Each structure stands twice: as structure tokens, then as C-alpha cells.
Amino acid sequence: MYRDDLAATHARLEQLQRELAEAQSSQVVDQQRIAALTAQLAATQAALQRLGGAMRAGAYGAYIIPPRGTTILVLGILSLVLCSIMGPIAWAMGNEELRRIDLGQVDPMSRNAASAGRICGIVATVFMILGVVLFIGIFALAAGTRSHY
């Protein structure tokens, strides 16, 4: 499933509910159309439950996904201090979290932590790449020198 399937399913659900209400309130009652819309509505609700979006307002209010800003910040700081391999992970998670915040799926209060963690991840990734290039350069330089023992 794609990332925006949940939003598309919610939009389709709302559209079907509007069409069904219009069909039931019209002057000429079309039973076939009402039956078809009811079947589509049931299928869309089932798809929404499969995607996990049935409980739109839960522990996080109107937001679908819990915020991960603090986790991203911790990963970014650890990538600078301990292990720079966590840098690309913090960078990717930060990008995803900022995208989710912009879509309204996550509480915007975690934007600053996600941005800071993302920046730490970028810096750690650059340091890691420079370290690998420096290591390869030193190894190539050492392999190129001839020693006469």
C-alpha cells in the first residue's frame, strides 16, 4: 500500500456517504444506485479498517500517527557521538516525519525535534562519508609506497 492510501480511503468514504445521502433524499428513489453505493461504502469501510484508520481520533487527538520527533533527535545525537551509521537512519526518519507533519498526520509540536535530529543525521552522514574517503585514500597511499627491507 502507498503512504497516501489512508487519506484516499478517507476521502472516498466521505464521498460515498455524501452520494448515498443524496440518493436516499432524492425525489426518485433509485434502489439499484442505493444498493451499489451501500456495497461500495461497506467495501471502503472494510479497506479503512485493514489500513488501521478506523480510529482516526485516538490517543493522539486528531492525528493518525504518534510523533517520533524525540526518537529522531536521539538517533541524530547518537550518530554524532557514538556511531555515524545511525546518521542516514536519522536523516531518512526526519524526512519522513516532516512529510507526515506537513500532511497533518502527526502533531506539529514535534517539528523542531525532528528537524534537529535530521540535521544531526545529515552532519553525521557527511562525516561518515569523509571518513570512508580518508580511509580509502590513506590505504591507497600506503599501498602505493614501496618499502625496501
Q: What is the pLDDT of residue 56?
A: 47
Domain span including residue 85: 69-144
Tell me, yes or no, whether 73 and 43 share the same domain: no
Instruction: State pLDDT tens for residues 55-71.
Output: 444 445 567 788 999 99
Q: What are phi and psi of 58, to 5 degrees?
A: -125, -135
Tell me, yes or no, whether 30 and 95 share the same domain: no
Task: Give percent of the chain above pLDDT 90.
Answer: 43
Pick 20 or 84 by higher pLDDT: 84
CA 122/CA 130 separation, integer angstroms? 12
Domain membership flag for residue 62: no
- In order, the DSSP letters of 66-101 are ---HHHHHHHHHHHHHT-TTHHHHHHHHHHHHHHHH
Q: What is the pLDDT of residue 35?
A: 83
Instruction: State pLDDT tens for residues 111-145.
Output: 999 999 999 999 999 999 999 999 999 999 988 87
pTM over the 0.75 mark: no
The total of structural domains in the chain comes to 2
Tell me, yes or no, whether 81 and 125 share the same domain: yes
